[in-house]
């Protein structure tokens, strides 16, 4: 039997959240949500100013501005959080591919383990770069 990959795609424009859905956005470690998806998280989904990593409001802040190794570690921390909270659905934005300046080719592979979790939805652009 062929191994089929189940793809769970998050929308490019998340405007509302259903109960138990979490908006996952790129942040900076200091939690200054001044632009992009971080600003959207702050204004619409309760992300707390000053919280740069982890669950906050109806969101998960994932720091992207501190370098590639830090980003890799932050994605691993996020993946563990998603694993520990199967009751939540995590809607990941194109983390790191905006203000942080990474490419999809650089970021998507970091989410390979998260992609295996039933409660993690990734952008279509990330799925396209995963095996």
In the beta sheet, which residues pair with residue 90? 22, 120
pLDDT, one tens digit per residue, over 75-100 is: 999 999 999 999 999 999 999 998 88
Give the start-to-end residue ranges of the domains of the chain. Answer: 24-127
pTM score of the predicted model: 0.92
Q: Pick the closest to residue 77 from 126, 11, 27 (CA basis).
A: 27
Cross-sheet strand order for the sheet of 54-56: 54-56, 59-63, 21-27, 89-92, 120-121
**Main-chain phi, psi angles of 90, to 5 degrees:** -100, 115
């Amino acid at each position: 039997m062929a191994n089929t990959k189940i793809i769970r795609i998050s929308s490019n424009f998340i405007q509302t959240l259903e109960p138990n859905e979490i908006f996952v956005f790129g942040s900076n470690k200091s939690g200054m949500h001044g632009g992009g998806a971080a600003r959207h998280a702050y204004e619409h989904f309760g992300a707390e100013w000053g919280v740069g990593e982890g669950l906050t409001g109806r969101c998960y802040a994932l720091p992207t501005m501190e370098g590639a190794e830090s980003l890799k570690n932050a994605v691993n921390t996020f993946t563990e959080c998603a694993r520990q909270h199967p009751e939540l659905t995590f809607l990941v934005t194109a983390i790191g591919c905006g203000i942080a300046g990474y490419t999809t080719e650089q970021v998507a592979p970091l989410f390979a383990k998260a992609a295996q979790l039933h409660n993690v939805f990734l952008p279509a652009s990330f799925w396209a770069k995963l095996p």
